[in-house]
Structure 1
Amino acid sequence: ALDVRGSRLPEPPCSLCCRDTAGQERFRTITTAYYRGAMGIMLVYDITNEKSFENIRNWVRNIEEHASPDVEKMILGNKCDANDKRQVSREQGEKVS
């Protein structure tokens, strides 16, 4: 999914473009094209799904292979409201980041 929105921020103007590929394999080839020119990349995993967390390492390798060497990377755990179903500890997330 692609969602582009405008917002007024202090100068200088900036642009934020978010692309959600949901980690699906079928998007892998076009995802690498998104890396070109990116200044920052957010990797989001589901704390209630250990497999999504394990895939973070693969995504980081892919970014290191295709993105600019100075691109900023941010790793985020989502679904924190489902803490009772948590499969990935906070410590695990912090260790990877």
Structure 2
Amino acid sequence: MKIVAVAACTSGIAHTYIAKEKLIRAAEALGHEIHVETQGTIGTEDELKPEQIQEADVVILAVDIAITGTERFEGKKQVKVPTSIVVKAPKQLLQKIESELTK
């Protein structure tokens, strides 16, 4: 599965980067390809490329606040969850998404 994600928490620091790391580790452990953009207090980092979005099977929005650029994901399967879900159970989240996509 090819995944793109955006992580953004209310403070724009801690949970944003923890969520990014947890998503990357879980995706790699499950054999998926993932690219994660962060939107935090220092702005956008690792901005998703249009081709990454186009090739993605799913978009994960691990966000606790409003983010910019969501129009890029129109027409894509999107899953929006709080960063706390990603921090606590990233593998379970990805497995659930995977099972939903294969239905």
Q: TM-score range by the shorter chain?
A: 0.3 to 0.5
Larger radius of gyration: 1
TM-score by length of structure 1 reads: 0.44
Q: Which has the higher strand share?
A: 2
TM-score by length of structure 2 reads: 0.42
